[in-house]
Chains A and B, each alone.
Chain A
Amino acid sequence: MPNVSMTVNGKAVSAEVEPRTLLVQFLREKLSLTGTHVGCDTSQCGACVVHVNGKSVKACTTLAVQHEGADVTTIEGLAQNGELHPMQEAFKEHHGLQCGFCTPGMVMSAIDLVKTHPNPDEKTIREGLEGNICRCTGYHNIVKAVKAAADNMGG
């Protein structure tokens, strides 16, 4: 079995994997980083979004071995020294989550969205989150949270 090494949430990690192992399986099963979720099997729902080299990626759509040497951030790596990331804080403040299952992917996508669009209007936010499905919130409060986070992140 091939060996794959990468940096995840600032830590160097390395493991033997079956070649068919998806990045999301590597994170969940080899590293026990279960905050990255699997909500579908067609790369539609976005529950598995992580950052690879700073860009949002659906971790169910890519093999672990493709990311040799990559710098990966998951939802577990966002909070620093016990302080929530502004996007996490905004989701809490604006009730942008209910069951929480889509939330990690939604937060990771939203951070990338704000990076690309520092001052997004509602339409930009809604279109930017089109690849993440939430069944609970109706998106209303997610949109509010992302807008507020963008303001706080200095957009």
Chain B
Amino acid sequence: MTSETGVGASVKRKEDKRFLTGKGRYLDDINRPGQAYGAFLRSPHAFAKIKSIDTAAASAAPGVVAIYTGADVAADGVGGLICGWAITSKDGEPHKAPAHPAIAVDTVRHVGDQVAFVIADTLAQAKDAAELIEVDYEEMTPVVDGAAAVAAGAPQVHDDVPGNLCYDWELGDQAAVDAAFASAAHVTTLDIYNNRLVPNAMEPRAAIGDYDSGNDEILLYTTSQNPHVARLVLSAFVGIAPEHKLRVIAPDVGGGFGSKIFIYAEETICAWAAKKLDRAVKWTAERSESFLSDAHGRDHHTTAELAMDANGKFLGLRVNTIANMGAYLSTFATSVPSYLYATLLAGQYTTPAIYANVKAVFTNTAPVDAYRGAGRPEATYVVERIVERAARDLGISPVELRKRNFIAPDAYPYETPVIMTYDSGNYPLNLDTALKLIDYDGFAARRAESESRGKKRGIGLSSFIEACGIAPSAAVGSLGAGVGLWESAQVRFNPTGGVTVFTGSHSHGQGHETTFAQLISEHLGVPIENVEVSHGDTGKVPFGMGTYGSRSLAVGGSAIMRAVDKIVEKGKKVAAHLMEASAEDIEHANGVFKVAGTDKQVTMAEVAFAAYVPHNYPPDLEPGMDETAFYDPTNFTFPAGTHIAEVEVDPDTGAVEVVDWAASDDFGNVINPMIVEGQIHGGVAQGIGQALLENAVYDPDTGQLLSGSYMDYTMPRADDLPSFKIETTNTPCPGNPLGVKGCGEAGAIAAPAALMNAITDAIGVEIDMPATREKVWRAAQSAQQAAE
């Protein structure tokens, strides 16, 4: 039975009150005693040698405390930034990892690369002084496009990376795919670009380094999705301080979407400078800096070919991708276009043979790393666009073609040809549910009505798959990950019955303080208002891996359930003693311990009190009620579903109106439906943003970021989007104790293909994202002319 605050209830969020009353504590809201302010001088050039830096005038400016350049950082032995996932090229060579200094030493490689850090008593003084630094640059010709970077004669971004090639990696059975194509009745081809995006969490990145000289301890506040990982990297690889002398706090964080996973130059420098100066140093990004220096997302050039038999049954898929890594490797950049991408190219289908080749390349652009979905949106975009094109090529309805090729609901566990074992799902059910939600059968009439007004209406599907809950440590280790991907939890009862849950996950909008409290309320019978969730402070919570890849509930929630199991186990022993029974005879449900077959019972609160005031207590049992658990997943989870977009295009203006959106997603069991729906809304909005509006554009000649502000980079706004129709189906995940799959990224994965397929359906021509008015207008006009 579901209680009002237990599993399955749309409990209103516990964290909302502080956010709604202005009492959230985001990083820039925090100040440390005696704090100085830092400002970065950033490169105005995409690619240049630094011939000299003259800081004399700036150093003499009012309030300036210190100015640091790359030489100062290097002289102090501060290590470069690292990439934590090793990829092996098909020739057996490890990926190329060129030096990535926190402040450039002799060469700048993208607009916005750090050149100097100015610290002053006030922020205004730091910025004023930064303008007085004279840098003598020798400009070089940049390359910004991934495909251009691998062409013969392209500028070389790093001297030690020939041909700008980070890796040339493959997955799948090439010979089997060749054989499939040889026997195919039909081959559909696709050549697409997955546009580069700027994540744009609304809170800009920021950091405060502080130093306690008495204890030789650095305290770093940073906008992080994974503070323990930041501590580990800054300690073990960058060499800022030993882990036990470095405390990292990620307070309230205003959105992440992947961009705050990574360990960046700015927080590194703040931590280092604080110790050097014995003074707190704060840096907060301006939005323009975020555009230039946050890790970007996507940026894939892809060609794909799908081989089919005469009935449209998929026989083989061949995919070639060039992935733009930017100027340097960000923390997990190498994994995104490889193991997070090609492993999902089976989609929801039984395609028996798949081969992918991915070339990751360096360019003179901001580094690219995981952004909401991370590789999986790129995979779904390839699969769902080529499937829709195949349907048009073959004259089969896109619904029918998908159904002919779906993995059957009774086929699990299902091993794909690209090393994944899907654990559960019901793809036809999701498709049918979405069709019903959008009234697919009524589309023809709606299209006719639009046409009567001179408009073109289109409908497009996207049946997406993702791999979430990353992931079994042994599996990711074997694929090159430098870390394990388990999660930690600690459930601590206070003597008076309240509970604090410490989690290694980090909430930056996902509502963990509520969802995780629901687990305790449900399983231990504690009123939800008596449960606090604590996260984001390496000085408080056990070492944890953080939040990304829709893993918090599947992995972090499972760790909480492990800790709950330990609490119950210990509670049974205490209860047995209190009721003078044997522990084997104690039954537990919802925070009540009963002696089986009797009406004797004690509550969790009584047991917890006895554990802390053990006057009457089992002699062989430790006092206290405080259990820690670590959970390592048994598999990825595989959320899946179908999204359907309906658009109306004005062929005279190119305006695309998203008139309807239906989504049917299978996230396994759902703890808080309200929060899950919110996650879908946000993901879909970001996917629509990618398909319709957003584009990080670098000028090919100068390497300048042309869409580097909200005046130029088109963020989705309230009047760009529709309301969404959403249902969830619930095939429990067999791989974790909660049966959950993860919902954070689904919308961003599913939406781009659905929307682009709808636009194609409307205007009859395929275009690349984003479908700007100009592009749509040109395509619609050319289609009309061709038809006349």
Interface residues of A (CB under 8 A from B): 18, 20, 28, 33-42, 44-45, 47, 74-76, 78-79, 84, 88, 91-93, 95, 97-104, 107, 122-123, 125-127, 129-130, 132-143
Binds A, one of B186-194, B199-207, B313-321, B327-335: B199-207
Instruction: Verify A45–B718 contact, CB threshold 8 A.
Output: no
With A and B bound together, what is the CA distance between A39 and B28 in angstroms? 11
Please tell me if the beta carbons of A141 and B678 are within 8 angstroms of each other in the complex: yes
Assess the B710–A40 pair: CB atoms within 8 A. yes
Which residues of A have CB within 8 Å of B509?
Answer: 98-100, 136
Of the A-B pairs whose beta carbons lie under 8 Å apart in the complex, a sample of 29, sorted by A's number, is: A28-B29, A34-B25, A34-B26, A36-B22, A37-B28, A40-B287, A42-B709, A45-B710, A78-B21, A92-B16, A95-B13, A95-B677, A99-B201, A99-B253, A99-B255, A100-B16, A101-B26, A129-B718, A129-B719, A130-B719, A133-B715, A134-B202, A135-B201, A136-B202, A138-B686, A139-B721, A140-B723, A140-B724, A143-B718
Determine whether the beta carbon of A142 is less than 8 Å from that of B710: no
**How far does the alpha carbon of A100 sit from the alpha carbon of B678 in the complex, in Å?**
13
Evaluate contact between B22 and A47: CB separation under 8 angstroms: no
Contact across chains for B21 and A88 when beta carbons are under 8 A apart: yes
CB B258 to nearest CB in A, in angstroms, measures 12
B22 contact set on A, CB distance < 8 A? 33-36, 74-76, 104
Contact with A along B479-515 (1 / 0, CB 8 A): 0000000000000000000000000000011110000
B460 beta carbon closer than 8 Å to chain A: no
Report B-chain residues with C-beta under 8 Å of the C-beta of A41: 286-288, 709
The reply to whether B719 and A18 contact each other, CB–CB distance below 8 Å, is no
Cα A28 to Cα B16 with chains together (Å):
21
The closest CB in chain B to the CB of A33 belongs to: B22
Max chain B C-beta neighbours (<10 A), residue from A47, A95, A132, A143 = A95
Contact B710 A139, beta carbon cutoff 8 Å = no
> Is B24's CB within 8 Å of the partner chain A?
yes
Tell me, rounded to whole Å, the shortest Cβ–Cβ distance linking B580 to chain A. 47
CA distance A107 to B18 in the complex (A): 13
Q: Could you say which residues of chain B place their CB within 8 Å of the CB of A44? A: 709-711, 715
- Roughly how many angstroms separate A20 CA and B509 CA in the complex, as a whole number? 34
Secondary structure of the B contact surface, majority rule: loop
In the bound complex, residues from chain B placing their C-beta under 8 Å from that of A140 are 681, 721, 723-724
Cα A110 to Cα B721 in complex, Å, equals 17
The CB with the most chain A CB atoms within 10 A, among B28, B286, B678, is that of: B678
Which of B202, B674, B721 sits near A45, CB closer than 8 Å? B202
Instruction: Assess the B202–A133 pair: CB atoms within 8 A.
Output: yes
A20 partner residues in chain B, CB cutoff 8 A: 124
Interface residue B254 (Cβ < 8 Å from any Cβ of A): yes
- Chain B's closest residue to A77 (CB) is B22
CB proximity of A27 to chain B, nearest CB, Å: 10
Q: How far is the CB of B157 from chain A (nearest CB, A)?
A: 29
Q: Which 4 A-B pairs have the closest CB atoms?
A: A35-B22, A100-B19, A101-B254, A138-B685
Q: Shortest beta-carbon distance, B758 to chain A, in Å?
A: 17
Contact of B721 with A84 in the complex, beta carbons under 8 Å? no
Chain A facing B: main interface SS: loop
Interface residues of B in 1-30 (CB under 8 A from A): 12-13, 15-26, 28-29
Q: Could you say which residues of chain B place their CB within 8 Å of the CB of A107? A: 20
With A93-B12, A95-B678, A138-B681 as given contacts, are A39 and B723 in contact (CB-CB < 8 Å)?
no
Query: How many chain B residues have a CB neighbour from A under 8 Å?
Result: 56
Minimal Cβ-Cβ distance residue in B for A94: B674
Contact B29 A99 (CB under 8 A): no
How far is it, in angstroms, between the C-alpha of A141 and the C-alpha of B20 when the chains are bound? Answer: 15
Closest partner residue, chain A, to B678 (CB atom): A95
Q: Are the C-beta atoms of A135 and B286 separated by less than 8 Å?
A: no
B682 at the interface (CB under 8 A from A): yes
Residue contact A137 to B124, C-beta cutoff 8 Å:
no
Cβ of B747 to closest chain A Cβ, rounded Å: 8
Per the bound structure, the CA–CA distance linking A71 and B674 in Å amounts to 37
Are A100 and B24 interface neighbours, CB within 8 A?
A: yes
Interface centre among B200, B711, B718 (most CB of A within 10 A): B718
Q: How far is the CA of A40 from the CA of B289 in the complex (A)?
A: 10
Chain A residue nearest to B203 (CB atoms) is A101
- CB neighbours (8 Å) of B253 from chain A are 99
Interface residues of B in 273-288 (CB under 8 A from A): 286-288
A39 CB to closest chain B CB, in angstroms? 5
Q: How far is the CA of A122 from the CA of B17 in the complex (A)?
A: 25
* Residue B257 interfacial (CB < 8 Å): yes
List of A residues within 8 angstroms of B388 by Cβ: none
Contacts of A93 in B (CB 8 A): 12
Query: Which residues of the partner chain B approach A123 to less than 8 Å between Cβ atoms?
Result: 719
Would you call B102 an interface residue if the criterion is a C-beta within 8 Å of the partner chain's C-beta atoms? no
* Extra A-B contacts (20), CB below 8 Å, given A34-B29, A95-B675, A99-B253: A33-B22, A42-B711, A47-B202, A74-B22, A76-B21, A76-B23, A84-B17, A95-B674, A95-B678, A97-B20, A100-B20, A102-B254, A129-B717, A135-B200, A137-B682, A138-B684, A138-B685, A139-B681, A140-B724, A143-B723
Chain A neighbourhood of B723, CB < 8 A: 122, 140, 143
Which residue of B has the minimal Cβ distance to A100? Answer: B19
Contacts of B16 in A (CB 8 A): 91-92, 97, 100
In the bound complex, residues from chain B placing their C-beta under 8 Å from that of A78 are 21
Nearest chain-A residue to B122 (Cβ)?
A: A18
Q: Which B residues are CB-close (under 8 A) to A104?
A: 22
Is B202's CB under 8 angstroms from A39's CB?
A: yes
Interface string of B670-691 (1 = CB under 8 A from A): 0000110110011111100000
Q: Which residues of B contact A35 (CB under 8 A)?
A: 21-24
The reply to whether A99 and B718 form a contact with Cβ atoms under 8 Å apart is no
